[in-house]
Amino acid sequence: MTQALIVIDVQNDFCPGGALAVPGGDEIIERINAMLPDYPVRVFTQDWHPVGHSSFASQHEGKSPFGLIEMPYGAQVLWPDHCVQGSAGAAFHPALQTDPADLIIRKGFRREIDSYSAFFENDHSTPTGLEGYLRTRGVDSLVMVGLATDFCVNYSALDAAHLGFRVEVGLEACRAIDLDGSLAAALDGMSDAGIVLTDH
């Protein structure tokens, strides 16, 4: 078994003071740094949106952040402008050790489509390429940590499980946005999909 650590979106905008701050988002960083040496394969993701991305409430007249709209691919939560390509908010948190990353994968770079998952964009069919990278490196088991538990970690873990990887989510190294019960729903959904939720 070859196990990869997948570190999801530990970026300034998802940490306190950021544009889409996840409560306690920076509290997980020391734990993630300490986990890195234990894994032979280490992948980091970065939410990486162009200016004017369609998931930004600012692009939809009369809409506010955390509202919902219908996109061609289904319902989409609207967000404050965040993780704009090249901005300070899109950078990794400065306390995160990034040198050990084998691969950094960016997602959400197509203006018309959001991408929560590290594997597929929100249409559930456009691949990011991460599956091929992991398979060609012989990875069959994943440990996922990062931000946010109920969005990008959740969708990444579900896609990975559907693709046939063994998946663990280290909940102590994740923090949630928790919009209208989204954390409880995500935990239930991950358990139902056979994802192992641990105290890492």
Catalytic site residues? 9, 107, 152
Pairing, β 68-71 against β 74-77: antiparallel
Q: How many residues bind ligand VGL (CB under 6 A)?
A: 9
Reduce the DSSP state of residue 47 to 3 states and report it.
Answer: strand
String marking each residue 152-191 x if it binds ligand VGL according to CB under 6 A: x---------------------------------------
> 161-167 long-range CB contacts below 8 Å, 24 or more apart?
161/190, 161/193, 161/194, 161/195, 162/193, 163/119, 163/131, 165/134, 165/139, 165/140, 165/141, 166/1, 166/140, 166/141, 166/142, 166/196, 167/141, 167/142, 167/194, 167/195, 167/196
47 sits near ligand VGL (criterion: CB under 6 A) = yes
**In whole angstroms, how close is the CB of 47 to Zn ion at the nearest point?**
4
String marking each residue 35-74 x if it binds Zn ion according to CB under 5 A: ------------x---------------------------
What, of ligand VGL, Zn ion, none, does residue 15 touch, CB below 5 to 8 Å by kind?
none
Q: Which residues bind ligand VGL (CB under 6 A)?
A: 9, 14, 47, 79, 116, 147-148, 151-152
